[in-house]
Amino acid sequence: MTGIIPGGTYNYRFDAVNASGKTIGNTIINTGELIMPAIISQSHSSITNTGVRFSSSVHTGGGNNQIAYMHSLTPTFDTFTVVDGSPLTLRSGTPTTVSANVTGLTPGTTYYYRTRLQGLTGPLAAQKYLYGSTQSFTTTGVAPVVTPTPSPTPTPSPT
């Protein structure tokens, strides 16, 4: 059989037919095997001075998952920003393309990102998150130069 959705409930029975007639088997209820979700691929495109588009192909396996993207100025994601994917929530089933447009970035700056699946139900729910590999991109334009603010010159005190 093909097309079984992981975690889906199915009723089936086996019937037999021969020269003597037809025999109808008992109906059996079964559930498709729950499998872990997978991030099949992830990429970035449409880089501008202040934005980027993230895309991923994900298979949610045997559960419901929310998809988001994390981006950070460091590859260790010490601090990061999360942007929801669209569609945000996927049900178990087939591979689906998810994307997000990110704005408000700094020109000429390298960013690190990865796809994040959050398990709502199914086998990923106990583990909570599944992350894609860390990738990077650099926004176009020139990074801003920070000009130091001069300190006021102390005024001599009158003698």
Percentage of the chain lying above the pLDDT 90 cut:
48
Rounded CA separation 4/92 (Å): 11
Average pLDDT score, the chain: 86
Tokens at 145, concatenated: 């130069």
Q: pLDDT by residue (tens digit) across 57-66?
A: 998 887 889 9
pLDDT, greater one: 25 or 119: 119
* First-residue to last-residue Cα distance in the chain: 99
- pLDDT score for 9: 66
Residue 78 has pLDDT above 70, yes or no: yes
The more confident residue out of 144 and 153 is 144
For 85-130, how does the pLDDT look when each residue is reduced to its tens digit (9 = 90+)? 999 888 766 788 999 999 999 999 999 999 999 998 878 888 889 9
Q: How far is CA 11 from the centre of its chain?
A: 33
pLDDT score for 59:
86
Place of tokens 């020139």: 142
Cα–Cα distance list, 58 to 15, 34, 126 (Å): 38, 16, 19
What is the spatial distance between Cα 23 and Cα 25, in angstroms, rounded to a whole number?
A: 6
CB 64 within 8 Å of CB 91: yes
